[in-house]
Structure 1
Amino acid sequence: MNIQRFSTVDADFRPKLNALLAWESVSDEQVFATVQGILRDVRARGDAAVLEYTARFDRFPAASMAELEIPATRMDEALARIPAPQREALEQAAERIRRYAEHQKLTSWSYREADGTLLGQQVTPLDRVGLYVPGGKAAYPSSVLMNAIPAKVAGVAELIVVVPAPQGDLNDLVLAACRIAGADRVFTIGGAQAVAALAYGTETIPAVDKITGPGNIFVATAKRLVYGTVGIDMIAGPSEIVVVCDGQTDPDWIAMDLFSQAEHDEQAQAILISPDAAFLDAVAAAADRLVEIMPRGEIIRASMEGRGALIHVRDLDEAAEVINFIAPEHLELSLEDAEAYAGKIRHAGAIFMGRYTAEALGDYCAGPNHVLPTSRTARFSSPLGVYDFQKRSSLIGCSAQGASELGKIARVLAEGEGLFAHAASAAYRVKD
């Protein structure tokens, strides 16, 4: 494979890195116009529009919305039907995700000042959340678990799942995951019409408070456009992995770790960073050999040649600087003392520490969420978690004395801003 090679000593290293990382997340005008039209139509016509778009795009001509809702009995049947090892793996992964999520729960708190004034924070869950699960050629039961379980741990009362079912075909693993994760209602709809139905509500599908879950460019554009009417998790770009290695890990392991993200699609990005130039050569040779036996080898080849890179750095300190600039979705630290090195990392969605911690473990069953910020947004964003399904209300309860003292301060500031009703409202509570 012809994988790009960079070195930090090159004068044009930073421009080359910028070009490598560039990914245009904004939809083109045609996609934008199409999605806007679908959103308007579903908002205006509800179920009828959803049925029409499902027949057109998913080739599933349902006579009514009842045909598009999956009954609980069908999910139970799917759970019973899948092979025992798959059921056990789903249940084990769900338990690990749930256990990790329990540690993320925000809690309410308050304190009283000397004059009796109470200040604090009250944490409550969202009422209703919509989860988009990608469909089509691939099935993503892991996406169900990673999105639904934190929502349920947060205390979300109702979780509505939408998953496209081209020609009516549904994957048993996805339905089984819905049952294990506690989905309340499941609809076989997808695309921008599913996002619109969740955001605005229809006669059958109730409007939600937040929409999470990945999707194609039409789904991502729809989520962007309904933000404000509802909350969303993020606008996700192609999957990414950065591996930093000191040259002491088996090159085959590293090559396959890079492949684990490159096989997602041609736009996925896999980057290896090392101070050992000979090791970069060894990984490149391993990649050339291993790609020939991979079922998704053509996708891997396109990804690695189009957006992959092998980066030579002066030392591991410089590697940390490059990593923090990239702000990768997934970061593997294939190093001797990875836990100590992790302290140098400021920007990464998830950090996998040590030679034995393959990123793929995080995709399925380690426990932390696999919904992560991409396209350098880890500089200001965090993984999906329980906190994304909770909200905080400030608590303020003034005693008479506290209201008087605070009123004096508020009156001065309000008058300074020219907001005299504010000033008067505060002044009414000030003691003479």
Structure 2
Amino acid sequence: MTVNPVKLSYSSQDFNEQLDRLLAWEGVSDEEVQHRVKHIIAEVRARGDEALVEFTRRFDRLSASTMADLTLGEEQLQKALQTLPQEQRRALEVAADRIRNYHEHQLQSSWSYQEEDGTLLGQQVLPMDRVGLYVPGGKAAYPSSVMMNAIPAQVAGVKEIIMVVPTPDGVINDMVLAAAAVAGVRKVFTIGGAQAVAALAYGTQTVPRVDKIVGPGNIYVATAKREVFGQVGIDMIAGPSEIMIVCDARTDPDWIAMDLFSQAEHDEDAQAILVSPDQAFLDQVLASMRRLLPEMERKKIIAESLNNRGIMIHVPDMQAACEVTNRIAPEHLELSVENPQALLPDIRHAGAIFMGRYTAEALGDYCAGPNHVLPTSGTARFSSPLGVYDFQKRSSLIHCSPAGASEMAKVASVLARGESLTAHARSAEYRIRK
């Protein structure tokens, strides 16, 4: 087993075409998946808890008879935290503190200003009432995702965070429950899949309806989130994990190889990209990857990811590297160079930017502080990391004084009549001082 990522040269005439082909990822579910998801959602809407228990028994192979069998309270979450090995508990608490501290800087406040005539304009910023957090279960256990999704909501002031996590064959991950306790979650339902998304979006007799659903999941979860969007808010429809590393050839090749592995090990569709102006360095990193691969627990997944979607790009200089970065708009970008600050003004599109040789992307996944829920598949061109602002909503404030209403009404009248909206015009005109 070896790795053979595609090698590209920026100077090739067909570079852009080759790159586009390698970046392409079709994550849209097929008609069969969509049909199943629509059926599940319709059943949960129609039959509530009954359908939810039925689907959970079928898909997760559980013997639950009522929702009480699928509900965990705060006491059980705290017990998971208290019984966790001390080293793991300490790691969760340190990571949670760092994540919370970072996100507290994002908190937005209401504001207003008053014009000379006494008119007040502003914005009222309030937290959402209730959000739902989807957490993958079974073999895919991510306590870090619990904290990254729940803590910003908690900082925003969300009153209630409802967590759903499937427990196939009854397997419960204590570290996930402990992370929920640390992050301020007080209620958990051990349900998953499209049925859990439907329950959160529409509510059942037991599961309360939420305002927004966040958190990663499989193709059924992603399809269900897309289906219920509009009924509730969602964070994003995420694609496979991505990492792009720009290196000046002065970082240890083994470090770079392992950083590429760190994302490739997520799944076979993950994408790892290395960009450098030094061809010899690219070859050194490839040699490091081939030497280190046998040591990896998930070597088969890493190899498939790198062989199917891995890319090594030779560029003439760092300016070209920045151009390629903006074209790709990667989820994770490592600037493993001597002076990353110098490149920063030229980087317009990236989910998260890891600066310097010592800033491994893996640190951001767990405990650096910034959120690891990031835009993928080039959506960093118009999307941002998950944050406190995703759990706040804003209302515009307008309080007109008599004088201000009179003056604005004159303008509104002209514009409304220009649009042939007579009622609009007359509504404004009633406020004009005689």
- Normalised by the length of structure 2, the TM-score is 0.99
Match in the other structure for 1:376? 378
Give a deviation string over 1:351-375, Cα, whole Å, max 9, x none.
0000000000000000000000000
Q: Secondary structure at the match of 1:414?
A: helix
Give, in whole Å, the separation in 2 of the partners of 1:138 and 1:152: 24
For 1:94, the aligned partner's letter is: A
2:209 corresponds, among 193, 198, 207, to 207
Structure 1 segments (4+ residues) deviating >2 Å: none
Match in the other structure for 1:282? 284
Give a deviation string over 1:301-321, Cα, whole Å, max 9, x none.
000000001000010000000
Q: Secondary structure at the match of 2:62?
A: coil
2:394 corresponds, among 392, 407, 417, to 392
Residue 55 of structure 1: CA displacement?
0.6
Q: Secondary structure at the match of 2:123?
A: strand
Give, in whole Å, the separation in 2 of the partners of 1:177 and 1:424: 58
| 1:354 paired to 2:333 | no
Match in the other structure for 1:239? 241
Across the two proteins, how many residue pairs are aligned to each other? 432
Match in the other structure for 2:220? 218
Q: Secondary structure at the match of 1:146?
A: helix
- Is the CA contact 2:77–2:186 (under 8 Å) kept in the aligned structure 1? no
1:127 corresponds, among 126, 129, 134, to 129
- Is the CA contact 2:335–2:354 (under 8 Å) kept in the aligned structure 1? yes
Match in the other structure for 2:149? 147
| 1:423 paired to 2:425 | yes
| 1:253 paired to 2:255 | yes
Give a deviation string over 1:270-295, Cα, whole Å, max 9, x none.
00000000000000000000011100
Give, in whole Å, the separation in 1 of the partners of 2:356 and 2:36: 46
- Is the CA contact 1:51–1:61 (under 8 Å) kept in the aligned structure 2? no
Matches for 1:331-350 after TM superposition, within 5 Å: 331-350=333-352
- Is the CA contact 1:333–1:351 (under 8 Å) kept in the aligned structure 2? yes
Q: Secondary structure at the match of 1:393?
A: strand
- Is the CA contact 2:10–2:313 (under 8 Å) kept in the aligned structure 1? yes
Give, in whole Å, the separation in 1 of the partners of 2:24 and 2:108: 35
Give, in whole Å, the separation in 2 of the partners of 1:108 and 1:86: 38
Match in the other structure for 1:56? 58
Match in the other structure for 2:405? 403
Give a deviation string over 1:201-228, Cα, whole Å, max 9, x none.
0000010000000000000000001000
- Normalised by the length of structure 1, the TM-score is 0.99
Give a deviation string over 1:130-155, Cα, whole Å, max 9, x none.
00001121211000000000000000
Q: Secondary structure at the match of 2:162?
A: strand
Give, in whole Å, the separation in 1 of the partners of 2:299 and 2:28: 28
Q: Secondary structure at the match of 1:147?
A: helix
Greater shift, 386-395 or 58-67, is seen at 58-67
1:81 corresponds, among 54, 58, 83, to 83
- Give ranges in structure 1 of 5+ residues lacking alignment: none
Give a deviation string over 1:90-111, Cα, whole Å, max 9, x none.
0000000000000001111100
Match in the other structure for 1:292? 294
Give, in whole Å, the separation in 1 of the partners of 2:54 and 2:118: 60
1:311 corresponds, among 310, 313, 320, to 313
Give, in whole Å, the separation in 2 of the partners of 1:71 and 1:222: 26
CA RMSD of aligned residues (A): 0.6
Q: How many percent of aligned residue pairs carry the same amino acid?
A: 68
Greater shift, 197-206 or 9-18, is seen at 9-18
Give, in whole Å, the separation in 2 of the partners of 1:264 and 1:174: 18
- Is the CA contact 2:143–2:176 (under 8 Å) kept in the aligned structure 1? yes
Give, in whole Å, the separation in 2 of the partners of 1:75 and 1:158: 15
Q: Secondary structure at the match of 2:358?
A: coil
- Is the CA contact 1:93–1:367 (under 8 Å) kept in the aligned structure 2? yes
For 1:84, the aligned partner's letter is: Q
2:199 corresponds, among 197, 200, 207, to 197
Give, in whole Å, the separation in 1 of the partners of 2:119 and 2:11: 60
For 2:241, the aligned partner's letter is: S
For 2:324, the aligned partner's letter is: V
Residue 185 of structure 1: CA displacement?
1.0
Residue 60 of structure 1: CA displacement?
1.1
Give a deviation string over 1:45-80, Cα, whole Å, max 9, x none.
100111011011111120110010112221111111
For 1:97, the aligned partner's letter is: I
Q: Secondary structure at the match of 1:411?
A: helix
1:323 corresponds, among 322, 325, 334, to 325
- Is the CA contact 1:342–1:353 (under 8 Å) kept in the aligned structure 2? no
Q: Secondary structure at the match of 1:160?
A: strand
Match in the other structure for 1:182? 184
Give, in whole Å, the separation in 1 of the partners of 2:284 and 2:51: 55
Give, in whole Å, the separation in 2 of the partners of 1:387 and 1:75: 27
For 2:274, the aligned partner's letter is: L
Give, in whole Å, the separation in 2 of the partners of 1:105 and 1:73: 29
